[in-house]
Structures are given as structure tokens and as C-alpha cells.
Amino acid sequence: MKIELERYRTLLRVFWAAWLTSVVWGSLVSGNEVSSLEKVAPFLEYDKLVHFAAYAGLAFLSLLAFEGRRGMAAALSMIFLGAGVEILQHFSPGRTPDIDDAIANTLGVLSGIALGNCSVQRTPPPTEDAPSQLQSSDTGITTV
């Protein structure tokens, strides 16, 4: 099944922006609010796994929401976002920066990029200068 990404780019960008906002908010919310959230969502207890998954999702969605180099640039910029958010946690009450979280964020981004590159088939646009040529190895005939 092939999904035409061009058709859903706007929806994917909205979903990406919502995910991005959620990750930044979740990373900077005060420590007291996080402890109360853990009662409702017990999976938040697995801190490094949550960091990994959040940033893998951001990178993967970046590749889907933006085409070509923009998608890759957006995905790679999530590494800087993860590091920046960890630094900003120093100024958030009840939060402390953690290098292990930044590493989990980075590994998530790299995994999201790998998953995105495996699942999104990108076909380069045809060039007008050189027509595509198919050569049959059986007959030696070149089709233009």
C-alpha cells in the first residue's frame, strides 16, 4: 500500500507541530506536575524510554511532514531541540538537566530517521536533460 504523502502534508505538519508542542511542554513542565501526571499515565515512569519514543516520533514525523532536505533538516534539528530543552530544565522548578536524557533524545532522533528512511520511499524527480534509459540485458536493446 502506497500513501501519497503530498496529499496529506498539511495534516502531517499539524500533527508534527502538536507533537513538538507536547514534547517541549512535557519537558519543561514543573516537577510537581510531572509527579501528578505519573499517577494518571504510569508509563511516564520509564523516563529514558519516553524520551527515546518522543524524539523518534518527532524525527519520523519530520520526514513525513516535510519533503526532501527540509524533512531531514527538521529531523536532525530535533537533536539540538533535545539538548536545548535539557539545558532549559535548569530554569524549570523541580526539574534538572540530565545528560542521559539528551542521549536518549539523540538516539530516538537517529532511530526515527532510520525508520523514516526505510518506510518512506522517495523517488527523485526526473531530469529533463537526461531521459531515463532502460537496458535489457537479454536483448541488448535500449529503450528511450
pLDDT attached to residue 29: 84
Higher pLDDT pick, 137 / 98: 98
Cβ contact 91:28 at 8 Å: no
Structural domain that includes position 86: 5-143
pLDDT surpasses 70 at 104 = yes
Domains held by the chain: number: 1
CB burial class (10 A; 0-12, 13-18, 19+) of residue 91? exposed
The rounded percent of the chain whose pLDDT value lies above 70 is: 70
Q: What is the pTM of this model?
A: 0.72
Q: Read off the pLDDT of residues 64-75 as tens digits, 9 standing for 90 and up.
A: 999 889 999 999
Question: Is 134 in a helix, a strand, or coil?
Answer: strand
